[in-house]
Structure 1
């Protein structure tokens, strides 16, 4: 698989990811929800930290996370180019391309959204506002909107620890970039032998 085809995958994922995020940011207030189906909703939330909303504490926690992401994306990019040069399998290059695109998509939010949008609290944000953004360079928040509450209800009393409590499955809210990373990782796990074929001994 050529680097050109890998680049096309990355471009398509980034385009869909950023268009969806910019649309949500400029049409929804923070916390707004649109019900597509009972088990699928568009819910606008922002993630200041890592997966599941985890944050790095301290004044420079967010900056450290963004810089780490930048270093990681260079590493993934090198892995992709190296795999293409070594004629890696199609499944391997496709997977790396998806992971790269997803990571890069969220990096764009973290690096630039703080200066390109104002905040979304009780209002719809403006792109490139006159008064400046809600943050500074490298201190943007990642936009999430895909919500799949496949089950919502109270658990039976007989279940230990959680019995009788209200439970939602699947609770995390995510975006296209997160989906791309997850699909890439799952492909590597499911097709591990095809992604990393062992060289036959002569």
Structure 2
């Protein structure tokens, strides 16, 4: 009996890819590019790098300014990622597996920030396109993953 199917491996691989890209980008923003000292930097057109320490959940909702809230959010993120990992192990559809992988990687990436820094490192700023939030790769992965899960739920089940 296999513990994980091919789609589960896809989910885990995608989660790892998101996690690695997220953490590398945050390391670069904080310690190489030193964005905190600059606050905001124009990159091209409407794209800016803007430093924001997000103490809330996605897009700054439900702030967790106290240590208890911070650690509850870390624990919640890790529990969600673990539950999704169990679900992904035997995912029958590639779209669902990809969606679960994106959400898992993003959840763990932001949990690492909360544990290390007490807040999530956000820096991608496209507010000139009327999108008012600053976000990171983990946030983008979670958002795309949730959208893919919704799309997958609208698919009709195939009769095998």
- Summarize deviations over 1:162-191 as a string: whole Å, max 9, x none: xxxxxxx21100000000011111112234
How many residue pairs were aligned? Answer: 152
- Summarize deviations over 1:90-132 as a string: whole Å, max 9, x none: 1111111111111111111112x23xxxxxxxxxxxxxxxxxx
Closer/same/farther in 2, CA of residues 20 and 50 from structure 1, 3 Å limit: same
Equivalent in the alignment of 2:73 = 65
* Paired residues of 1:56 and 1:62 also in contact (CA < 8 A): yes
Name structure 2 gaps, 5 residues minimum. Answer: 1-5
Equivalent in the alignment of 1:89 = 93
Look at both structures and tell me which one has the larger radius of gyration over its CA atoms: 1
RMSD across aligned C-alpha pairs, in angstroms? Answer: 2.2
Instruction: Measure, in 1, the Cα distance between the counterparts of 2:67 and 2:18.
Output: 32
Equivalent in the alignment of 1:171 = 132
Question: Given the two structures, how large is their TM-score scaled by the length of structure 2?
Answer: 0.83
Instruction: Measure, in 1, the Cα distance between the counterparts of 2:152 and 2:8.
Output: 21
Aligned pairs for 1:129-148 (under 5 A) are 140-148=118-126
Runs of 4+ in 1 over 6 A off after TM superposition: none
Equivalent in the alignment of 1:190 = 151
Structure that is richer in helix per residue: 2
Question: Given the two structures, how large is their TM-score scaled by the length of structure 1?
Answer: 0.67
Name structure 1 gaps, 5 residues minimum. Answer: 115-139, 152-168
Closer/same/farther in 2, CA of residues 52 and 6 from structure 1, 3 Å limit: closer
3-state SS, counterpart of residue 104 of structure 2? helix
Instruction: Measure, in 2, the Cα distance between the counterparts of 1:92 and 1:100.
Output: 12
Closer/same/farther in 2, CA of residues 5 and 68 from structure 1, 3 Å limit: closer
Q: 2:84 aligns with which of 64, 76, 89?
A: 76
Instruction: Measure, in 2, the Cα distance between the counterparts of 1:102 and 1:65.
Output: 13
